[in-house]
């Protein structure tokens, strides 16, 4: 294996980090700045994780007294003194490098990039070398085996500068770069430029003449003022050329075999981070250490997988009897299912498949991936591990959770083509066998993050329950949906004709361009916000325009859009009604970052609930014999109750305890009046603010939402926090803790990682702050409703009831109930849901009954 060497310009990157990350956000409680340390550590983690070097070496400047200073006293003379805030971090940077066990080199009289050039000169000739530096002089070192990783912005965005990339960017070869730099000059190093000669001219000259030497020889041919300027400043150019040339003869001695990177010393690193109160990076370092451990055993693991599977390069298809016999002595198997086939691999590597039949894995413990389909086959097994759910729980921001992607990340092995047609004959035995290795690694990872209890007691039972719910489905009156479709189409068609009449012509209402012409050119209506293609015709803009003008054409266009959406929603539902007159949606457990469930095929959360017509669509969801009615259950103001629990605000807790109407009670406190004096507008304002706070609502956002002046909204928020000060303290504290730790947690320990909390880009940082505010509350609500689902389902089984859970949509549970169980079933659901979690503001359950979903809503 050829060496892969990562060379780091320590001073360059530390300085870049210092200026990219604000000191105000990165310092200890005692005032010690940590921004340079944090940024450098973050870059080291990213570089080692992404580049996987065999050798890591870092070089530093000793001082500003170098041979270049002797040759040219003005060299870097324009630079200000090193800031005290940076200087105070230098000793800690040394400790960081030692904790990461990275060999460090510095030589008096030379700069870090000279040291790097000399190390390259003495490296094994078959090495693959990466240089990470913010100094463009390193571009002269680029070859086919040497790449420069150059920070474009801040400390996260790197350009890979290869010979091809350099040619594309500057039109130059690496050998030509010092010539170009000599002509261009460098203000940061106080190297003078030639008046009138910028980067483009310098690059054009070097490209045209091939070298600085050739350019100078033909300088008399260059006409005009730039030619005169060149000839007048040749001494400066030659001096610049001498200074930009990197030295490759720095007197350093090393045994290359002793420079192999030994990995992070986790104990020293954690001690340093503890002292500097840098909690956000500890998790990332632990992941890096885990990756090291995996890397050291990857070769062994892959060989073991292959060795144990040499006799199973293809599936052995068996009858169901022979299949069960083959697994008779195997208490645990890895299994996947798809279509009508079941695939199973034993721990010894035997790979068998057969047609799916109930009871095939009776009594077995099964590990799988995306296991709902397997559960729905009634195989009689206990599914104890699902790699998709485990990987999601470890990092809920991960989008690619298919088995090949997870295996590649954790086993570092390619198991199959990246885009498999899952669960077909394309599945290989190794693909399933990988589950054994993944179970071990992912459980270890969940333990380190304190997620194993959440996985075993919440997410895995939820997966089994969702499979059962999908299998049951919910009854639908298809004729009723068809009636709605015809009704909505008629209204939509009538509005189209009316719009044509008001506009005085027929036009394509779906075309933004034609709509712009009609509204703004023909009808001369006020212009909406400017966009690239003219003026906006989105829903928000047209609503504003209608409210401003009350023009009938706009009323009809808005109606067309509303009813077209209703019609397509109904058509989508009709498509999924099965032969059993039920819709069997697919719940998604591993999509949202907060732990909330969603659904597809169809997406039941897309059914409109704000408009009267939209709510009527729910009338088509009905109870089917032998069930007499549907029952819905949800929590009253659960997010506000969680806010009260987490903030421990006595005022809000008291409002929950005393007030029948929470928002009126809170409004009375804020406005300083009795509850009876609170009008609807006061209540509306306080409700908007109370819920908005959990989403990072600003005074400007509140002003827009309530249609009031920003200063009025700001005053309202001040009065709110005057009465409920612990809420403000909690909101500030949750962001601070998330910034320190790198993640938020729900009341049950679910994590959401937010690396952008420390991003140098303000917009990305503010988005992450809003996520940090929302994730603990919305995620806790998701956890509680899952606990409630599991408790209710278990209680139904214990009590032998026939009523059952069908759906969870927007944290609302929908059941179908048999007639003689209504009262006892309501009591059961209220009891189990109400005791799902002991909040300081106790959970309150709303229940409703009806022949259909709309009637059952409460």
253-291 residue pLDDT tens: 888 777 888 888 888 888 899 889 888 788 788 777 766
CATH number of 4-166+246-278: 3.40.50.1010
Chain centroid to CA 628? 44
The Cα 755–Cα 354 span in angstroms is: 46
Query: Tens digit of pLDDT for each residue in 674-692?
Result: 999 999 999 999 999 998 8
User: Pseudo-torsion of CA 247, 251, 256, 259, nearest 10°?
Assistant: -90
The Cα 204–Cα 772 span in angstroms is: 50
Q: How confident is the model at residue 310 (pLDDT cuts 50, 70, 90)?
A: very low
CA atoms 84, 85, 87, 92: torsion sign: positive
Distances (CA, A) of 488 to 271, 441, 485: 66, 53, 5
For residue 744, pLDDT over 50 is answered with yes
Q: How confident is the model at residue 795 (pLDDT cuts 50, 70, 90)?
A: very high
Chain centroid to CA 97? 29
- The CA-based diameter of the chain, rounded to the nearest angstrom, is 105
pLDDT score, position 295? 57
Residue with tokens 């940061």: 188
Q: How confident is the model at residue 307 (pLDDT cuts 50, 70, 90)?
A: very low
For residue 156, pLDDT over 70 is answered with no
The Cα 250–Cα 111 span in angstroms is: 10
Contact 410, 369 (CB under 8 A): no
Query: Tens digit of pLDDT for each residue in 51-81?
Result: 999 999 999 988 778 888 787 787 776 667 7
- Going by C-alpha positions, the residue among 11, 310, 307 that lies closest to residue 135 is 11
User: Residue 394: CB partners within 8 Å, gap ≥ 6?
Assistant: 442, 445, 446, 449, 451
Q: How confident is the model at residue 423 (pLDDT cuts 50, 70, 90)?
A: very low
Query: Tens digit of pLDDT for each residue in 523-542?
Result: 999 999 988 888 999 888 99
Contact 53, 260 (CB under 8 A): no
Adjacent-strand bridge partners of 745: 751
DSSP 424-453: STT--HHHHHHHHHHHHHHHHHHHHTT-HH
Q: DSSP class of residue 123?
A: S
Q: How confident is the model at residue 483 (pLDDT cuts 50, 70, 90)?
A: very high
- Per CATH, the homologous superfamily of domain 641-774 is 5' to 3' exonuclease, C-terminal subdomain (1.10.150.20)
Asked whether this chain's domains 486-576 and 641-774 adopt the same fold, the reply is no
Show me where the domains of the chain are located: 4-166+246-278, 285-449, 486-576, 641-774
Burial-class residue 48 by CB neighbours within 10 Å (0-12, 13-18, 19+): buried
Q: What pairing do the DSSP bridges indicate for beta strands 341-345 and 351-355?
A: antiparallel
Residue with tokens 């050119």: 521
The Cα 623–Cα 629 span in angstroms is: 5
Q: DSSP class of residue 621?
A: B
Other CB atoms within 10 A of residue 469 CB: 23
Q: How confident is the model at residue 716 (pLDDT cuts 50, 70, 90)?
A: very high
For residue 422, pLDDT over 60 is answered with no
For residue 20, pLDDT over 90 is answered with no
Query: Tens digit of pLDDT for each residue in 572-582?
Result: 999 999 999 99
Instruction: Tell me the CB-side half-sphere exposure of residue 719, using CA atoms within 13 A.
Output: 18
Q: What are phi and psi of 160, to 5 degrees?
A: -95, 105
The Cα 817–Cα 831 span in angstroms is: 17
- Per CATH, the homologous superfamily of domain 285-449 is Ribonuclease H-like superfamily/Ribonuclease H (3.30.420.10)
Q: Return the structure tokens found at 634.
A: 């949800």
CA atoms 458, 462, 464, 468: torsion sign: positive
CATH for 486-576, among 3.30.2290.10, 3.30.470.20, 3.40.50.720, 1.20.1060.10?
A: 1.20.1060.10
Other CB atoms within 10 A of residue 400 CB: 11
The Cα 542–Cα 527 span in angstroms is: 10
The Cα 810–Cα 596 span in angstroms is: 8
Contact 442, 394 (CB under 8 A): yes
Considering only CA atoms, give the Rg of the chain: 33
pLDDT score, position 27? 86
Report the pLDDT averaged over residues 767-772. 92
CA atoms 643, 649, 650, 655: torsion sign: negative
Report the pLDDT averaged over residues 831-858. 96
The Cα 793–Cα 801 span in angstroms is: 10
Burial-class residue 823 by CB neighbours within 10 Å (0-12, 13-18, 19+): exposed
The Cα 489–Cα 501 span in angstroms is: 19
């Amino acid at each position: 294996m050829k060496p892969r060497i990562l060379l780091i310009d320590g001073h360059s990157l530390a300085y870049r980090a210092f200026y990219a990350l604000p000191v105000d956000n990165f310092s200890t409680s005692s005032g010690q700045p940590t921004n340079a340390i944090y940024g450098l550590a973050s870059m080291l983690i990213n570089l080692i994780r992404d580049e996987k070097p065999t050798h890591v070496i870092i070089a530093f400047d000793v001082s500003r007294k170098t041979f270049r200073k002797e040759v040219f006293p003005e060299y870097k003379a324009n630079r200000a003194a090193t800031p005290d805030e940076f200087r105070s971090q230098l000793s800690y940077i040394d400790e960081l490098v030692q904790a990461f066990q990275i060999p460090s080199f510095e030589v008096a009289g030379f700069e870090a990039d000279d040291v790097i050039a000399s190390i390259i000169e003495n490296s094994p000739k078959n090495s693959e070398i990466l240089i990470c530096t913010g100094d463009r002089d390193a571009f002269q070192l680029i070859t086919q085996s040497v790449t420069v990783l150059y920070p474009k912005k801040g400390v996260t965005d790197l350009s890979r500068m290869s010979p091809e990339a350099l040619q594309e960017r500057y039109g130059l070869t690496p050998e030509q770069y010092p010539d170009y730099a000599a002509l261009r000059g460098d203000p940061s190093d106080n190297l003078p430029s030639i008046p009138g000669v910028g980067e483009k001219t310098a690059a054009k000259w070097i490209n045209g003449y091939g070298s600085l030497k050739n350019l100078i020889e033909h300088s008399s041919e260059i006409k005009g003022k730039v030619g005169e300027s060149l000839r007048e400043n040749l001494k400066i150019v030659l001096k610049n050329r001498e200074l930009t040339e990197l030295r490759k003869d720095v007197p350093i001695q090393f045994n290359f075999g002793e420079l192999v990177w030994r990995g992070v010393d986790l104990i020293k690193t954690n001690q340093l981070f503890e002292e500097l109160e840098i909690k956000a990076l500890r998790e990332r370092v632990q992941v890096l250490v885990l990756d090291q451990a995996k890397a050291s055993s990857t070769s062994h693991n892959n060989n073991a997988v292959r060795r144990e599977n040499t006799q199973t390069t293809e599936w052995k298809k068996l009858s169901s009897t022979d299949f069960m016999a083959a697994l008779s002595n195997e208490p645990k198997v890895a299994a996947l299912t798809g279509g009508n086939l079941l695939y199973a691999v034993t721990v010894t590597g035997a790979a068998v498949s057969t047609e799916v039949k109930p009871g095939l894995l009776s009594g077995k413990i099964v590990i799988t991936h995306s296991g709902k389909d397997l559960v729905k086959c009634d195989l009689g097994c206990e599914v104890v591990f699902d790699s998709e759910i485990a990987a999601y729980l470890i990092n809920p921001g991960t989008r690619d959770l298919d088995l090949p992607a997870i295996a590649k990340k954790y086993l570092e092995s390619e198991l199959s083509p990246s885009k498999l047609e899952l669960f077909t004959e394309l599945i290989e035995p190794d693909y399933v066998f990988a589950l054994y290795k993944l179970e071990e690694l992912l459980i270890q990872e969940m333990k380190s993050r304190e997620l194993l209890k959440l996985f075993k007691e919440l997410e895995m039972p939820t997966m089994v329950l969702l499979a059962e719910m999908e299998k049951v489905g919910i009854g639908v009156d298809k004729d009723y949906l068809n009636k709605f479709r015809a009704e909505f189409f008629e209204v939509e068609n009538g509005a189209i004709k009316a719009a044509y009449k008001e506009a005085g012509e027929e036009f394509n209402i779906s075309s933004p361009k034609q709509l712009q012409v009609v509204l703004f050119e023909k009808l001369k209506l006020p212009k909406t916000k400017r966009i690239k293609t003219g003026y906006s015709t989105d829903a928000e803009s047209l609503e504003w325009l209608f409210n401003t003008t009350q023009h009938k054409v706009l009323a009809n266009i808005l109606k067309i859009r509303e009813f077209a959406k209703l019609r397509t929603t109904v058509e989508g539902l009709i498509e999924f009604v099965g032969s059993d007159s039920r819709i069997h949606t697919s719940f998604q457990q591993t999509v949202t970052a907060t732990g909330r469930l969603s659904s597809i095929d169809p997406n039941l959360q897309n059914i409109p609930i704000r408009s009267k017509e939209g709510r009527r669509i729910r009338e088509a969801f009905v109870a089917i014999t032998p069930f007499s009615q549907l029952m819905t259950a949800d929590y009253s103001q659960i997010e506000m109750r969680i806010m009260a629990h987490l903030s421990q605000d006595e005022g809000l807790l008291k409002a929950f305890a005393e007030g029948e109407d929470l928002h009126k009670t809170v409004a009375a406190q804020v406005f300083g009046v009795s509850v009876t004096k609170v009008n609807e507008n006061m209540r509306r304002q306080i409700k908007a603010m109370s819920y908005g706070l959990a989403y990072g609502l600003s005074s400007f956002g509140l002003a827009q939402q309530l249609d009031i002046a920003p200063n009025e909204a700001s005053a309202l928020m001040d009065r709110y926090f005057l009465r409920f000060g612990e809420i403000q303290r909690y909101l500030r504290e949750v962001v601070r803790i998330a910034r320190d730790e790198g993640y938020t947690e729900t009341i049950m320990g679910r994590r959401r990682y937010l690396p952008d909390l420390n991003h140098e880009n303000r917009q990305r940082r503010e988005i992450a702050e809003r996520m940090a505010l929302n994730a603990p509350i919305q995620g806790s609500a998701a956890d509680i409703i899952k606990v409630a689902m599991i408790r209710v389902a278990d209680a139904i089984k214990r009590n032998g009831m026939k009523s059952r859970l069908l759906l969870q949509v927007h944290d609302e549970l929908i059941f179908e109930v048999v007639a003689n169980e209504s009262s006892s079933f309501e009591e059961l659901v209220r009891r189990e849901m109400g005791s799902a979690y002991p909040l300081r503001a106790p959970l309150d359950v709303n229940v409703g009954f009806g022949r259909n979903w709309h009637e059952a809503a409460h």
